[in-house]
Structure 1
Amino acid sequence: MPVPAPTDDILHLLRQHWGHAAFRPLQEDIIRSVLAGKDTLALLPTGGGKSVCFQVPALARDGICVVVSPLIALMKDQVERLRSRDIRAEAIYAGMSHQEIDQTLDNCVYGPVKFLYVSPERLLTDLFRARVARMRVNLLAIDEAHCLSQWGYDFRPPYLQIAALRELLPTVPVIALTATATTQVKQDIVEKLAFRPGSQVFQQSFARPNLSYSVFQTEDKLRRLLEIVRGVGPGKTSIVYARTRRQTEDAAAFLQQHQLPAAAYHAGLPAEQRHRTQQDWMQDRTRIIVATNAFGMGIDKPDVRLVVHLDAPDNLEAYYQEAGRAGRDEKYAFAVLLTGPNDADDLRRRTELAYPPLDTVRRVYQALANFSRTAVGGGELVAFDFDIQQFAETYRLKAVDAHNALRTLEREGFAQVNEAVNNPARVHIPIDHNDLYRFQVANAQHDKLIKALLRLNGGEIFTSFQRISENSLAQYLRLSVVDVRKMLLFLHRSGIIQYQPKHDSPQALFTTPRYDADKLPLDQKHLREMRALAQQKAAAVVRYAAGGRCRQQLLLEYFGELDAPVCKVCDYCLEQKKQQNVTGASPALRQQLLQLVRTTPQTPRQVVSQFAPAQASTVTELLRELIDRGELRYAADGKLT
């Protein structure tokens, strides 16, 4: 049994690498459970500091922590963040060459790497299994652990391979982390990960006391969005979520037309533009970002004051995660969902379309094989560039059918489509210094480029792939970028370097050896169950939007917190408070208002100005009630009569 680290040691690590003076609620308890060698499930809300819960105990022990994570962008972001704290971290994901994966795994076996991030479909490859058995693994961390459960909102079959990985690491404790899990999903995670006796489950309440949830009905969402942004304050940092790329661009343009600093963000934009847009928002040059739902995963920006959804997500798990990106600094913030007259029907229809007929799924699977020129029995985990619009047009598919069939293939574990991720060019020198020197002497025309690579990257270029900028190299050598790339490719073909060109396209891959489409083992019963589950989740979203109760209570009940008190800050609670104020208004005040208007017709503002400031809100609400009841009405000149 591992010996727990003293409190001073783990606090020192927290101060040294994160600059925090103390742990957040439950973090230290979770860390101590891991350090005691116990399998641990940690459920913390978005912004609750999940990463610290596995990163601190991994640093407190000799060896390496293997982190399973589902999204390339999320892995890369966490790796970069660890490196910025002088912690050595690596990642393996789709799109890397065999040589780069091989080199990365070697560094994890022999080098000072503390964290290895890996996508779940890589876990049981022969290459990974052979190397992980030789690593000094001190912890297995499962990020976004709800992906393990078919009852969760983002089930990924490759996650089920983690239990088999545990057999290779029988003494290594596991920590599973998620921000969203129903009671059923929690039980599924513990079972699928084969938690050992003595395991512990830590759950912080899903309540966010500083977050005001609201749902507003409207027929003009952009106009209502403008009012909300202005009401919160145009200088406040905000995220607006839209369902489609077109919506992000239209909404951003609308806000810009009204002199608000907004920008669109989606996977269809060039990588450099996406990076620039994200950096402008992170550094407060752009205050409002209008994005599709992938934006925000892993981004640590605590001062977001407002998150608006122009359309409801497909389930409350996704809504809770995305809305929860507001107010991570624990200051007051707003989460707003806008709904239109037909939104509930649209959500139900989308849920039906998300599970296309089996013949459509098989047709898309065959088209994917043709598109990638993959033979039956081949193609496992071999990534290829993939543009869904081009794919759909080439094989005369409706874009919505192609998208939904690919999602079905992903849920069933046969294929995977990754959003565009910016992968800079990378270089590794696999030969020793003496061989390299002999090549430089014999090939003077390449000497300057090799010297530039060595000068800019140092000795690490001999031990691992290093990022390079072809543009910077071109400027340094006073050559064109095209010439630099040609020289790099020549050195690559000559075996002097291993060169991975810059890449920023979406990619797809088969997660199993390719089947004959007619023999693809789709489980019709399981698909029917998944469709029924998706319909239940959509119905829960519709109930949340309909309201009639405290919004936070509705959310917390969905996650199994049945005794949560009212939040007092959502739109429903605030409206109830106003009604109580109005109902409690004295009959004398009611008569006084009627008499004022009866004597002299006047605007609401003129009426309110005749009362003490402390009474202003009560008088305003009472005027609204009298208008609703028909006891007062507006004349053509805007005055009450």
Structure 2
Amino acid sequence: MPAPTDDILSVLRQHWGHSAFRPGQEDIIRAVLAGHDALALLPTGGGKSICFQVPALSRDGLCLVISPLIALMKDQVENLRKRGIKAEAVYAGMSHRDIDQTLDNCVYGPVKFLYVSPERLLTEMFRARVGRMKVQLIAVDEAHCLSQWGYDFRPPYLQIAALRELLPGVPVLALTATATEEVRRDIREKLQFGPTGQTFQKSFLRPNLSYSVQHTEDKLRRLVEVLQGVGPNKTSVVYARTRKQTEDAAAWLQQHGLKAAAYHAGLPPEQRTRVQQDWTQDKTRIVVATNAFGMGIDKPDVRCVVHLDAPDSLEAYYQEAGRAGRDEQYAFAVLLWAPNDGDEMRRRTLQAHPPLDVVKRVYQALANYSGTATGGGEMVAFDFDLQQFAQTYRLKPLDVHNAMRTLEREGLVQLNEAVFNPAKVFIPIDARDLYRFQVDNARHDQLIKAVLRLYGGEVFSSFQSISEGALAQHLRWSTTEVRKALEFLHRSGIVQFQPRHESPQAMFTTPRKDADRLPLNVPALEAGRERALRKTESVIGYATGTRCRQQLLLEYFGELDSPPCRICDPCLAEKRRQRASESAGDLRQKVLKVLRSTPRTPRELLAGFAPAQAETLTVLLRDLVDTGALRYHANGQLGVASA
């Protein structure tokens, strides 16, 4: 039986202190409690987590939450524990023993929420335990990751359907902030919604958020102007595409007297934590970050979100921009746009969908690299160092990355996350101190020279991803020797070394094929590339369009009848044009009235109006003469033509 409204309201009051649900939340909660599958689309800051936390606390049993980001999982678990609610998480980097103990707690203890990443769902350890847990609800966060038609497709999410076979009869609640109708259909299908499955959608309208696009060739200069205009003491987020951009922009803002800090995955964990805490506590007002920053962070008073570069889709832009103004107070979302940004976006989109010959070449190289014969190697994992692999086969690392992602989507290979999270090195001392150390330590001098030769001087300014295998190959050392030497340099304070949490591995998920006859779904790959290009063109159209920005966004998500927002840059420009037109009309009537009674020279006429109106008045007089409304007399005076 569904919980009565009074019961779910009492849960909300007890744990969150709210006296009422936000619009749409109660309907979603009641559908889940009635045992229906549900897809909930709520804008960023719309209270998605309440929609599964309240029903889970209204009944016995555990809620299994599937989430893609470790930082978001940790944050939500910590927030639940602060409220006295027992919650656990299983994620990459935990020891086998810790995972084992956590899963036991969920089987035998009073745990209400278990957060897991999709990659962990069908591990042998998890499968053996989940059927013994009293799971009453499966919540799928960031559900758009299920859909190949979406902007952030992640193949491991497809494992969730298999999870439903282990937990028959347990309802699924899928949650996302952004999804087109095509993506919504795909989510319901991939999650095998039952016949009573429901979709709940709140309007994507954000009436308090002013969207604008500022065209500029000097983004950093304009960034300072935007943030100073909003107010240097206002909380803001600046999104950049690369780690280096975050650091360069943060340094630039600091030089101009703004309290800013960089945030990206290459920073040490303790530094990331400190930056995030300083920002949430208003010690740092501006964070310049890559796009993962802000997910799951409850900071409602962000007044401005600025993008130095446009994301690859309007879904991503809407979600990131929507982190401003969650307190429903006036806020700004600003996209900085340079003349060549559109062409650069198209180039990146095509790069992400490599030609078939590149995909086949990488597949063949992978077979050679792993020593896998045709017909063998199915589900046999092998170490895979992406940078070393690219160097060995003279491939561009970006081509390898994109081709491997294509092969993964096609179900031909599988990679663990460590492939894309290699070891990192940063040199915190200056070049003179480093040189003195090298002179006194000949063996470590070789390694330091190799690091500088392969990865350049940027290791002095920020953490850089390195390949232990490539360094070993360059030095003719073993990988173990390289790692031990880096650990020694770390202990000595010469470098800061972040080792990998686990070994990067790949495997063929089917018997290894002949690369020339690789069973690629060519129509699907081509359709995927065309979809990505359409998404790119939608972003370019938004950035270069002259219509209401909010209307453009809402139309993209299927809301076709929304009125102009009146607060975006095209709407404000239209207001100015209307005011100017009204002002010009009033001025025209005044001029005609004066000249009907007494013809005057232009100089005499100008003397009777405010100096600020001189330029507008001069243009108006020329126009009135050209159209025949006024004419010059022989003495040089202007008069009304009909007089």
Q: TM-score, normalised by structure 1?
A: 0.76
Match of 2:323 in 1: 325
- Report whether the alignment pairs 1:301 with 2:299: yes
Taking structure 1 as reference, are residues 69 and 514 closer, same or farther at Cα in structure 2, changes over 3 Å only? farther
Q: Which amino acid aligns with 2:204?
A: F
Taking structure 1 as reference, are residues 140 and 588 closer, same or farther at Cα in structure 2, changes over 3 Å only? closer
Matches within 5 A, 1:417-432: 417=417
**Superposed displacement of residue 94, structure 1:** 2.6
Q: Distance in 2 between matches of 1:410 and 1:593?
A: 73
1:579 counterpart (565, 577, 580): 577
**Superposed displacement of residue 138, structure 1:** 0.5
Match of 1:36 in 2: 34
Q: Distance in 2 between matches of 1:91 and 1:421?
A: 23
Taking structure 1 as reference, are residues 129 and 249 closer, same or farther at Cα in structure 2, changes over 3 Å only? same
**Superposed displacement of residue 389, structure 1:** 6.1
Taking structure 1 as reference, are residues 49 and 588 closer, same or farther at Cα in structure 2, changes over 3 Å only? closer
SS in structure 2 of the partner of residue 138 of structure 1: strand
Matches within 5 A, 1:155-174: 155-174=153-172
Taking structure 1 as reference, are residues 523 and 258 closer, same or farther at Cα in structure 2, changes over 3 Å only? same
Asked whether the 8 Å contact 1:218–1:341 carries over to 2, the reply is yes
Q: Which runs of 5+ in 1 are unaligned?
A: 423-484, 486-501, 609-618, 632-641
**Superposed displacement of residue 244, structure 1:** 1.0
2:24 counterpart (26, 29, 51): 26
Q: Distance in 2 between matches of 1:596 and 1:326?
A: 55
Q: Which amino acid aligns with 2:350?
A: E
SS in structure 1 of the partner of residue 530 of structure 2: helix
Q: Which amino acid aligns with 2:152?
A: D
Q: Which amino acid aligns with 1:194?
A: Q
Asked whether the 8 Å contact 1:376–1:516 carries over to 2, the reply is yes
Match of 2:112 in 1: 114
Taking structure 1 as reference, are residues 11 and 407 closer, same or farther at Cα in structure 2, changes over 3 Å only? same
Q: Which amino acid aligns with 2:17?
A: G
Match of 1:103 in 2: 101
Name which of structure 1's ranges 38-47 and 12-21 shifts more when overlaid on structure 2: 12-21
Deviation per residue, 1:440-474 (Å, 9 max, x gap): xxxxxxxxxxxxxxxxxxxxxxxxxxxxxxxxxxx
2:240 counterpart (236, 242, 257): 242
Taking structure 1 as reference, are residues 241 and 406 closer, same or farther at Cα in structure 2, changes over 3 Å only? farther
Q: Distance in 2 between matches of 1:503 and 1:345?
A: 37
**Superposed displacement of residue 56, structure 1:** 0.6
Matches within 5 A, 1:555-574: 555-574=553-572
SS in structure 2 of the partner of residue 294 of structure 1: coil
Taking structure 1 as reference, are residues 309 and 175 closer, same or farther at Cα in structure 2, changes over 3 Å only? same
**Superposed displacement of residue 196, structure 1:** 1.3
**Superposed displacement of residue 333, structure 1:** 0.4
Asked whether the 8 Å contact 2:384–2:506 carries over to 1, the reply is no
Q: Which amino acid aligns with 1:558?
A: Y
Deviation per residue, 1:294-318 (Å, 9 max, x gap): 1111111111100011111111111
Q: Which amino acid aligns with 1:252?
A: A
Q: Which amino acid aligns with 1:135?
A: M
SS in structure 1 of the partner of residue 195 of structure 2: coil
SS in structure 1 of the partner of residue 29 of structure 2: helix
Asked whether the 8 Å contact 2:377–2:507 carries over to 1, the reply is no
Count of equivalent residues: 539
Q: Which amino acid aligns with 2:563?
A: P
SS in structure 2 of the partner of residue 584 of structure 1: helix
Q: Distance in 2 between matches of 1:620 and 1:271?
A: 61
SS in structure 1 of the partner of residue 536 of structure 2: helix
Match of 1:61 in 2: 59
**Superposed displacement of residue 542, structure 1:** 0.9
Asked whether the 8 Å contact 1:215–1:337 carries over to 2, the reply is yes
Matches within 5 A, 1:382-421: 396-409=394-407, 411-412=409-410, 414-417=414-417
Taking structure 1 as reference, are residues 509 and 103 closer, same or farther at Cα in structure 2, changes over 3 Å only? farther
Q: Distance in 2 between matches of 1:537 and 1:548?
A: 19
Q: Which amino acid aligns with 2:417?
A: V
Q: Distance in 1 between matches of 2:279 and 2:219?
A: 23
Q: Distance in 1 between matches of 2:140 and 2:590?
A: 65
Asked whether the 8 Å contact 2:378–2:507 carries over to 1, the reply is no
Asked whether the 8 Å contact 2:606–2:614 carries over to 1, the reply is no
1:145 counterpart (143, 146, 151): 143
Deviation per residue, 1:457-501 (Å, 9 max, x gap): xxxxxxxxxxxxxxxxxxxxxxxxxxxx9xxxxxxxxxxxxxxxx
**Superposed displacement of residue 127, structure 1:** 2.6
Q: Which amino acid aligns with 2:100?
A: D
Q: Which runs of 5+ in 2 are unaligned?
A: 424-486, 488-497, 593-599, 626-643
Match of 2:524 in 1: 526
Q: Distance in 2 between matches of 1:87 and 1:628?
A: 75
SS in structure 2 of the partner of residue 290 of structure 1: strand
Taking structure 1 as reference, are residues 192 and 579 closer, same or farther at Cα in structure 2, changes over 3 Å only? same
Please identify the structure whose Cα radius of gyration is greater.
Answer: 2
Q: Which amino acid aligns with 2:132?
A: R
Q: Which amino acid aligns with 1:143?
A: D
Root mean square deviation, CA, Å: 3.8
Match of 1:13 in 2: 11
Q: Distance in 1 between matches of 2:69 and 2:106?
A: 21
Matches within 5 A, 1:224-303: 224-303=222-301
**Superposed displacement of residue 122, structure 1:** 2.4
Taking structure 1 as reference, are residues 377 and 589 closer, same or farther at Cα in structure 2, changes over 3 Å only? same
Asked whether the 8 Å contact 2:312–2:345 carries over to 1, the reply is yes
Taking structure 1 as reference, are residues 330 and 518 closer, same or farther at Cα in structure 2, changes over 3 Å only? farther
Asked whether the 8 Å contact 2:550–2:568 carries over to 1, the reply is yes
SS in structure 2 of the partner of residue 247 of structure 1: helix
Percent sequence identity is 67
**Superposed displacement of residue 96, structure 1:** 2.8
Q: Which amino acid aligns with 1:219?
A: E
**Superposed displacement of residue 505, structure 1:** 5.5
Q: Distance in 1 between matches of 2:79 and 2:569?
A: 37
Taking structure 1 as reference, are residues 281 and 211 closer, same or farther at Cα in structure 2, changes over 3 Å only? same
**Superposed displacement of residue 87, structure 1:** 1.3
Q: Which amino acid aligns with 1:87?
A: I
**Superposed displacement of residue 624, structure 1:** 13
Q: Distance in 1 between matches of 2:7 and 2:338?
A: 54
Q: Which amino acid aligns with 2:349?
A: T
Matches within 5 A, 1:497-512: 508-510=504-506
Q: Distance in 1 between matches of 2:94 and 2:547?
A: 50
SS in structure 2 of the partner of residue 531 of structure 1: helix
2:181 counterpart (155, 174, 183): 183
Q: Which amino acid aligns with 2:15?
A: H
Q: Distance in 2 between matches of 1:281 and 1:625?
A: 51
Asked whether the 8 Å contact 1:362–1:517 carries over to 2, the reply is no
Q: Which amino acid aligns with 1:254?
A: W
Taking structure 1 as reference, are residues 200 and 54 closer, same or farther at Cα in structure 2, changes over 3 Å only? same
SS in structure 1 of the partner of residue 417 of structure 2: strand
Match of 1:218 in 2: 216
Taking structure 1 as reference, are residues 141 and 588 closer, same or farther at Cα in structure 2, changes over 3 Å only? closer
**Superposed displacement of residue 588, structure 1:** 4.6
2:81 counterpart (80, 83, 88): 83
SS in structure 2 of the partner of residue 50 of structure 1: coil
Asked whether the 8 Å contact 1:34–1:40 carries over to 2, the reply is yes
Q: Which amino acid aligns with 1:340?
A: A
Asked whether the 8 Å contact 1:157–1:412 carries over to 2, the reply is no
Q: Distance in 2 between matches of 1:194 and 1:146?
A: 15
Q: Distance in 2 between matches of 1:339 and 1:506?
A: 39
Taking structure 1 as reference, are residues 216 and 377 closer, same or farther at Cα in structure 2, changes over 3 Å only? same
**Superposed displacement of residue 154, structure 1:** 1.1
Asked whether the 8 Å contact 1:39–1:200 carries over to 2, the reply is yes
Q: Distance in 2 between matches of 1:281 and 1:222?
A: 21
1:345 counterpart (336, 343, 346): 343
**Superposed displacement of residue 522, structure 1:** 4.4
Q: Distance in 1 between matches of 2:335 and 2:12?
A: 36
**Superposed displacement of residue 68, structure 1:** 1.3
Q: Distance in 2 between matches of 1:65 and 1:620?
A: 71
**Superposed displacement of residue 392, structure 1:** 5.2
Q: Distance in 2 between matches of 1:97 and 1:137?
A: 24
Q: Distance in 2 between matches of 1:109 and 1:256?
A: 51
Match of 2:444 in 1: none
Asked whether the 8 Å contact 1:362–1:518 carries over to 2, the reply is no
